[in-house]
Amino acid sequence: MTTLRFAVENLSCAGCANRAERALAAVPGVASASVNIANRMAQVTGDASTDTLRAALKTAGYPAKETTHRLSITGMTCASCTGRVERALQDRPGVISAAVNLATQTATVRSLDGAVTIETLAKTVTDAGYRAKPITSDTPTEVPSDILPLKRDTLIAGALTLPVFLTEMGGHLFPPIHHAIMGSIGMQSFWILQFVLITLVLAWPGRRFFRIGLPLLAKGAPDMNSLVALGTLAAWAYSTIATFAPALLPDGTRAVYFEAAGVIVTLILAGRWMEARAKGRTGAAIRHLVGLRPDTVHVLRDGTETDIPLSEVVTGDLITVRPGGRVAVDGVVTDGTSFVDEAMITGEPAPVAKSECDRVTGGTINGQRLLTYRATAVGSDTVLARIIDMVQTAQGAKLPIQALADTVVRIFVPVVLAIAALTVAVWLAIGPSPAVGYALVAGVAVLIIACPCAMGLATPTSIMVGTGRAAELGVLFRKGDALQRLDAAKVVAFDKTGTLTQGRPTLVDQMTAPGIDAARALHLTAAVEKSSDHPVARAILAAAPDDLPDVTDAETIPGYGLKAHIDGTSLLVGSERHLIEHLIDTSPLQGAITRFANKGHTLVCVAIDGQAAAVFAVADQIKPSAKPAIDALHAQGLKVAMISGDSPAAAQAIAQQLGIDHVTAGVLPDGKVAAIKALRAQFGPVAFVGDGINDAPALAEADIGLAIGTGTDVAIEAADIVLASGRVSGVVNAVEISRRTMRNIRQNLFWAFAYNTALIPVAAGVLYPTFGLLLSPMLGAGAMALSSVFVISNALRLRNIAPAQQDAPSPSYQEAPA
């Protein structure tokens, strides 16, 4: 039996604690349970599973509080290693789930809060045969770098192996030289020299394989290191016996394979060195994001500027950022004007003007002028810290597509050991003379050529590079499996206001009656609208000059508009119905009224001194990036829909301009959820793009939710993907990255499976009876090393994904002729 202590949520009184306690006590396998209302902790003794306890508390309405721990792990070399560490962590009482990533050399563990400490988890990994240390919020993920040790070991192994390889292989290429060497020192002395050199190779640079692989083999949990250790040890042991105790071997079988053991170790170390270098490049995105933080900050305290470490900045500090300097933390400008380059956060190339009361984001670069700002968010609360956390979470995710590889890897190494044993047995039984030599070569080749590491790297390296490139383009995957779900989407549905449009009305067109000066009409209309806070009134005011005349006798007529006088001139401003109610003939404007209304624009009609004078069209303009983005989505074979709470006329007008396939208009938030369900039934999986609080239910309902980064926090929290730039082109980037990454993963998995399926039988000798070909263990070592490098190199191609076209030409405002 085990005892678990963990935190419980929603406990507000003793009655709550009693109900939670009864729910836990009723779980099969629970011997005793108690819930303390003072510290809101539960204590459970028994053998019930963590998932069962969580389910019981959730049903009772008092869910168990969860927490996430992250570990940096060293020593993992293949998918068998990650599977072993995962199983060890998941077997810990209190652990909900564990995901181990071979590419980042990290583990992400979800557990009941308080049930297990991160130190305990680290010890669990250590007991499984690998070294682990906690990752804190102040130490972002870095792929543990073995580049220098691997380079050193590779060079040492190569230097010790090269003389053996050249003299042994040189005998086939340059027999006279070989015979001269043998004649001068003798065969026995030559073998003893090989023994010394290769023993140094195995005991020095090659010891990592034995240090890790043999203890795991003894525990009945072999990994790739075990395969290498067994193969090289077999070749070395046989050669050592042939050198020092040849009488133990059958007649005619005396031969040495020292060069095979040395070359195997050298090539595998070289492969791991290249793999480590490639892994370092896969983590470039995280290192770039972390590097955006300045080391020191210029803070104004008591009127004096002081340089302090970034970690000592607190909310409310006044900070100065010099021309060309990096903004340290998030804040609001209190003094100065400048342009700030936000490309590293949003992906937008154009600098953004900043002045008093504007927000600045940590990690961005100031332009040519000094800015002073007040810190509003520091540490893990900054936008940059949240972006780093999102990228790390996505990179550490395990996609559903990886399930097949995990299943195979779980039994891969034991199966390879069995195949190697069977290979040796068959060669000994029916192989040609000397059967022992053939059996040894084939058995060692099978052990060496098998490559579970390629399977383990196939998915995480692609995810790591793909999500890193996405972050550089302003696409943040909050949930790792969103990468695969977006690839399956058949239709992309957009909210209209603030997503496809700017989210604020502007004056887009106007027409004046014959004999009316357009500038004067706009001037007078803006003067009348000056006292209104209606969005349409603000759009008219924004288009008019500032020097507006005074208005007298202004009167609001609810549902119709305004009436007023300016310097003796009477004005009516409002709907067409407003003018008709005052017996104004609107026929001079009728053509424009009809045309603007058909486009879904909001109309402001104006009469001056009893005559129809002008009509203004106000609309929420389409974002410049919307049309190219929708065209690109169509080119990718996706259906595009729009779901809006706006009027059907306005929605249809936008849809026609953008070429949208399906429109649902005039719906409330629950109507958007119903619209997504209908789209799913008609087309398949739905991706929904929104930005507002009212979009949160739809973002949660959709198979994949994408939130515009300039939208509300509620929408962003409900989404799977955040588009930091606010541009619609971010959707195209997200889809392209998802599809390219998933294609890359499938290519890697195919290679990993095809490689092992094809070459293990070749190594066992299936080609020998027909073609007389038997694979050398040295060639097997080279092939195995290159298979992992191939997988990583293929993943690195994702760094070349180009961003989508940003903007179409913005429509310019022009007056319509009279």
For the annotated catalytic residues, the residue numbers are 495
H or E element that contains 205: none
CA distance 327 to 330: 8
The residue among 264, 451, 348, 243 whose CA lies nearest residue 804 is: 348
Whether omega for the bond prior to residue 545 falls within 30 degrees of 0, making it cis, is no
Phi, psi of 665 (to 5 degrees): -125, 165
**What span, in angstroms and rounded, lies between the C-alpha atoms of 779 and 263?**
9
SS3 of 134, please?
Answer: strand
Rounded to 5 degrees, φ, ψ at 435 are: -60, -35
Residue 804: Cβ within 10 Å count: 21
Cβ contact 528:566 at 8 Å: yes
The dihedrals phi and psi of 603, each to the nearest 5 degrees, come to -105, 140
| Run of H or E residues at 49 | none
Please tell me whether residue 365 adopts helix, strand or coil conformation: strand
Q: What is the 3-state secondary structure (H, E, C) of 749-815?
A: HHHHHHHHHHHHHHHHCCCHHHHCCCCCHHHHHHHHHHHHHHHHHHHHHHHHCCCCCCCCCCCCCCC
* Radius of gyration of the chain, Cα coordinates, nearest whole angstrom: 36
Strands of 263-337, DSSP E: 296-301, 304-309, 318-321, 330-335
**Tokens 């929420």, residue located:** 620
Q: Measured between alpha carbons, how far is 403 from 96 in angstroms, rounded to an integer?
A: 18
Burial classification of residue 812, based on how many CB atoms lie within 10 Å of its CB (0-12 exposed, 13-18 middle, 19 or more buried): exposed
Amino acid at 603: L
Helix/strand/coil (H, E, C) string of 208-243?
HHHHHHHHHHHCCCCCHHHHHHHHHHHHHHHHHHHH
351: left (phi over 0), alpha (psi -120 to 50) or beta: beta
Q: What is the dihedral of CA 751, 754, 755, 756, to 10 degrees?
A: 130
DSSP track, 596-651: HHHTTPEEEEEEETTEEEEEEEEEEEEPTTHHHHHHHHHHTT-EEEEE-SS-HHHH
Place of tokens 């002008």: 614
Query: How many angstroms separate the CA atoms of 635 and 736, rounded?
Result: 11
What is the β-pairing status of strands 639-643 and 491-495?
parallel
| C-alpha separations of 711 from 8, 498, 714, 726 in Å | 33, 8, 8, 8
Half-sphere exposure of 84 (CA within 13 A, CB side): 27
- Between CA 105 and CA 98 the distance in angstroms is 13
Write the secondary structure of 712-741 as one string of H (helix), E (strand) and C (coil): CHHHHHHCCEEECCCCCHHHHHHHHHHHHH
Q: Supply the DSSP symbol for 246.
A: G
Distance, CA of 197 to CA of 162 (rounded, Å): 10
